[in-house]
Structure 1
Amino acid sequence: MNIENEDWVGGAWLVATYGIVLVLPLAVVSRIGGRRASSTAEGITTETHVQSMRPATGLRGHLTFHLKHEVPNLELLSRLFCIIDPQELVAWAGDEPSGQYARRAGFLYEFLTARQLPLRAEMAGAYVDALDAQKLVVASPAQAVLQRRWRVRDNMPGTRDFCPVIRQTAQALTMMALDVPALLQQLALEFGDELLMRSAVWMTLREGKASFALEGEADQPARIGRFADALAHRCGQGAPPLDHATLAELQSDSPLRE
């Protein structure tokens, strides 16, 4: 991203203005140009907007543009919130208590930093999603929580310690639509359950041998066999997360207790 020679807006403007160094590049970068255009190279989409799309100068305008028109980047936001004066967000929320982007920005600040902003006004307006489900994989509606403080629907797909960001790309949607049980059923009809089980046992045993070899214990076939048996019969069993009783039962069957 050439910071000097382009008229960047949104996330790219925030990166350039605040000197933010990202581990992963922005999925979408936006700039102002003579005509509307879009291009993708090496996984990064460059959106060129006409002059009428230029956001207001400063943090509010460009952060709004990022949340509204681009794919929200949590790394960018996390690093940005560590740099800016939080009073800028407090003032924004006070000026626009019903504005969805002021409320989303405030919510995301508190979510990512674990610090609470000293609000001077009560937020108003209809509840809005923290993240756009059309752009990112988010928590299911049943798991989303209404966050009254910001009047934001917390649909974050994780916690501040681990919040995976998965874009709703055509490739991702195709993979998520893959019916794995149907494919397994098709294999069972074609080859039979017995052959599939024998293949699974063989692969599990091979995996067990490789794991023990890495630990320098390849000369213990009995333990390897028990480990492979545990993998074959325990994987996918039990309700997540595993409780203490299930873990104790699994440990009692494990060759690692010897």
Structure 2
Amino acid sequence: MTTFWLLAPIMVIAALGLLFARKAVHAALALAVVMISLAILYAAQGAPFLFAVQIIVYTGAIMMLFLFVLMLVGVESSEAVRETISGQRLFATVIGLVFGITLVLAVGQTVTGVVVGLGAANENGNPYGLAELLFGKYVLAFEFTSALLITAALGAMVLAHKERLTPRHTQADLAARRMREYAETGRHPGPAPTPGVFARHNAVDTPALLPDGTPLEESISPSIVERGQVRSGFDDDIDTVVDQLATDEQRDSDGFGGEK
């Protein structure tokens, strides 16, 4: 009971945060808190199998999938507030009231009814007892839930499908576009060298050097440039390095000529 009274307020606050959060990422994190708290309650009730499934499958896999989808789709896009289905809000209100009444009745029966002992429920092990309930007494509800999940997955695929209005660009088209940009604007058709290439410091904050020794600003990430973290310690001695290379090259050529 102590675990329940400690976790129940946290779960309620996280559930309210899930409903009233303005950003989808915050709502997903609140849902993760609810899932983890529910897993702890499973463990406290002597259901280790449900505890492991709740952590590994729901919190560790499905929840992370939600976060990845939110990050890929984007959380800054505005959502339409116009209803596309007439009577949608009224229908959602009725379903919500029915769900709330069902939840209150279930909790009331649990509190006032006779609780079956955990020893009898887990006599042959928690996974065996869970399987007996799912594929025995509640097999019909389990199959309906499976059909609902499959329908939801198909619906998500249909909603996420985007019809391509323009033909896909081939590698030849991309190469022709890069060469056209090079002819019109002078933009180099190839990728910029990575930071640290031909520089005295091999780091992401050190720009690559052009053949004349000047730094190439395009090789540094714009975020590093905005933070003012670009290293320029090699700029003061580039001339010295170039002169030293020229001297070594002249010495090698003179020695080679003298031997010849």
TM-score tier by shorter-chain length is under 0.3
Larger radius of gyration: 2
Q: Quick check: which one's strand share is greater?
A: 1
Q: Quick check: which one's helix share is greater?
A: 2
- Which has the bigger relative contact order, CA under 8 A and spacing at least 6? 1
- TM, length-normalised to structure 1: 0.27
- TM, length-normalised to structure 2: 0.27
